[in-house]
Structure 1
């Protein structure tokens, strides 16, 4: 559904995106994660042909989007990060206008989703709060049941109820065979909704993997309690173990990969208790950021 080949975008001397190779399949929810300035919005704008690459290319549905962007856009629903609306139009009139531009007369999906999001379509866009404007943007992206949804920070400004309904709509869209590619700063959103996650750092794709695999290979925090104080050096020598701290009879550390050797070593030292914190995407993301900063330093 989506494929990029060495996609690069420069603004003068600034490279916003470099050599991005990415593939997203039908029925997949793909999350794009990264700090501000990492290249997320640039990537999404390139995908929908709002801007053109400096080099490389984007293929949607197997076709070069730059060669036939009109046909590709018919099959895409897009929510921009900097959403602009016609403030004098009611939500209903705005959706009808946008649907008409696509020759899509059926607004059933739009009205159903608006109801799920608790969005009043009779109010003018200029009267809506930030969260309700975002809901209207979400509805217009979904309303023509596109093959591909490209969503830039879709949960921004939404209350927890609306976020839950958005996530459910995204999952339903993918389960029905559609594809969703979205960016987010809400790490829990990635964990709940995305099948795979790509982490962008400094315009480069640092990693792409399934959420479960990222978590399985991430640093996890363990805390051991012993019946007597122990030497931290025992843990420092175990592969994959780092950040060992000792406080009396308690040892805390982080470990990546298999914890078997670590647990066996602890068991031979008078182990009383062990607790483990399951890694989440925030831990994974921060670990990649720390690696990047240490490399730069």
Structure 2
């Protein structure tokens, strides 16, 4: 079953760019990455899914129901963490979380205490006295306290220190094992690479690639690094499938997608001092997609 179904979703802001004809599905139980640089349209898509803004055209469904028509009903099963969190400063953390829990008509006290323990959050502090990172933790607990079926995260780790990021990822993986579906929006590719099953790459409001992480990493590219005993002309490596070729003296590096045997026979004709062939990280693949589209 599709937990999220986006069909030709478009949102325009006058002359400013929003999103254009976005279509993708998120399956039950998957962790789905939504990546692109700041300003690519990630938050606009998420706000439209949540019914916070209305689409110009197209539609989106969550749990098979239209996001606008059935918005209030759907939201009871969604946990949302925005990229920036704002609260009433004078409230204590525990009062704010109890207030949030009251919307879901179930007793969330045990769950709040459990999540606060995992995230090392002091429930007795006033919101006003919290650092940016601790306010983010409040947002995380608030988003998960009602055990939602769908968790939507918009740049969720900003403000968290590395230890808390690790705990947060462990928490998300536990929620996913419990059955929650997760939409994870980020511009930090290592996060997506670690957590997600599939990834949608968005650029300037348009979807430019939708792929399994494993396919992006394994099937598409290899990173070659060569040290040659004598300088080699860059022209020697101008083959189909070679990208990001850099030749500096006797050091050659490039991304390659294609027949590995063809490349190895080409390399075999060179006098080598060393060779390294490795999987590129998602960052390199991602930049290639962006450059390719320009």
Question: What TM-score range do you get, normalising by the shorter chain?
Answer: over 0.9
1:229-270 CA-to-partner distances (Å, cap 9, x unmatched) read 44543322x331244444554433331244332122212333
Structure 1 residue runs without a partner (length 5+)? none
Residue 72 of structure 1 aligns to a residue whose secondary structure is helix
Whole-Å separation in 2 of the counterparts to 1:162 and 1:243: 35
Q: Distance in 1 between matches of 2:184 and 2:245?
A: 37
**1:90 aligned onto 2:112:** no
Q: How many residues align?
A: 292
Q: Which residue of 2 aligns with 1:205?
A: 207
Q: CA deviation at 1:18?
A: 0.9
| Residue 140 (structure 1) aligned to one of 138, 142, 145 | 142
2:227 corresponds in structure 1 to: 225
Q: What is aligned with 2:177? A: 175
Residues 226/35 of structure 1: CA separation in 2 closer, same or farther (3 Å cut): closer
Matched residue, 2:267: 266
1:258–1:145 distance in 2 versus 1, CA, 3 Å:
farther
**Cα separation, partners in 2 of 1:257 and 1:85, compared to 1, 3 Å:** farther
Question: Which residue in 2 is equivalent to 1:251?
Answer: 252
Gaps of 5+ in 2: none
Distance in 1 between residues matched to 2:102 and 2:291, nearest whole Å: 48
CA distance in 1, matches of 2:112, 2:281: 34
Question: Cα 1:101–1:251, aligned 2, differ >3 Å: closer, same or farther?
Answer: closer
CA contact (8 A) 1:79 1:150 kept: yes
Which whole-Å deviations, capped at 9, do the CAs of 1:196-254 have from their partners, x for residues lacking one?
Answer: 11111010111111111111244443122344444543322x33124444455443333
1:10 to 5, 9, 12: 12
CA root-mean-square deviation: 1.8
Q: What CA deviation, in whole Å up to 9, does each residue of 1:4-60 have, x standing for no partner?
A: 111111112334011111100111111111112110001111111111111111111
What TM-score do the two structures reach when normalised by structure 2?
A: 0.93
53-62 or 11-20, which moves further after superposition?
A: 11-20
Q: 1:81 to 1:244 in 2, by over 3 A?
A: closer
Out of 200-209 and 211-220, give the one that drifted further.
Answer: 211-220
Contact 1:216 1:257 in 2 (8 A): no
Q: Name the residue aligned to 1:165.
A: 167
CA distance in 1: counterparts of 2:246 and 2:98, whole angstroms: 61
TM-score by length of 1: 0.92
CA distance in 2, matches of 1:246, 1:84: 49
The correspondence of residues 1-297 of structure 1 with structure 2, limited to 5 A, is 1-236=3-238, 238-293=239-294
Q: Give the Cα separation in 1 of the matches to 2:14 and 2:250.
A: 57
